[in-house]
Structure 1
């Protein structure tokens, strides 16, 4: 929260700061943390959105003069985007599978976050082992769209180089 206020004070355009992606990450992750402390209960919530902060790692490495060439900067950006999207998608699967469908709360599946990370890695890299799968309709729907976006983006990347 302190980091959010420091960034807000340092921002030249306050309106643009309030509408940028990292501010929305803070909006969805900071208040639930305080509410869970106040209520003395844990809640899955949207804490997984903090993984999107990993996309700033290449900038930090560039400012520290660790990344100097443009190819190493691009590679670090690619890896950080890939990992942050993967961890965020695992958080969405974790939230959807542990909450159950909104029309039928009788079908939640107690999966840990790291089981969801494993599930996405196995699903995206192979045809899947079948040991972990989505039980909820929302989880399956999200997974279908996640896989389709991955396939379409890989096709666009492959055809842009030819």
Structure 2
């Protein structure tokens, strides 16, 4: 089945001119479809171009559905593609339109197609960006336990502070329940401050001031944790297979003997 192999190289890879052209056209189609979905939510534009938007929406959905089925057909391992990250995103890009036949408003979820634009990194062969993305993901994984403990502590503070404010304000001034008071604590600690719930008592104002000061520390802590882990990932070394000397993971060649490094990494990026 030589034609399936040819189609696979065009659709799944971007090493050839045809493959790169296919991906570029696909990106433009995704951009146009997202733009139409966004404009469709504007009442003045929607009232004028409602039919055109509806037809365009189905045109793109049918087009992306054919592309999705084509990817399944030409893939050597169809189920591997279907249950992969990209397979899931490609399916999400077409489902909202079909759901909108039964449920109003679901077609606006077509903006999930924006995730498909991440393919631009594969098209442009930006191996460096892929490496940096891996460093960031490794840092997030390494710091996930610390961040989890930190957010548990924040949740405890928020619940405690919300409960105290409910008691201090005597259930008035917007603090009508503990959940409502917890909502106030969250928007205050995150320094959002919508202003829809405001304490009126002296003690309540003092507690809210304290909560705002805590908010700055809460923003800084996870940033610091992730920054440290990124620094650790960046400073990792790799061993040269020829001279056994250590070199940065970003190095392509050994600075001691000139041996090519990162061969496996480049193969993954291509």
Using structure 2 for the length normalisation, give the TM-score.
0.27
Structure (1 or 2) with the larger CA radius of gyration? 2
What's the TM-score once normalised by structure 1's chain length?
A: 0.42
Greater RCO structure (CA 8 Å; 6+ sep): 1
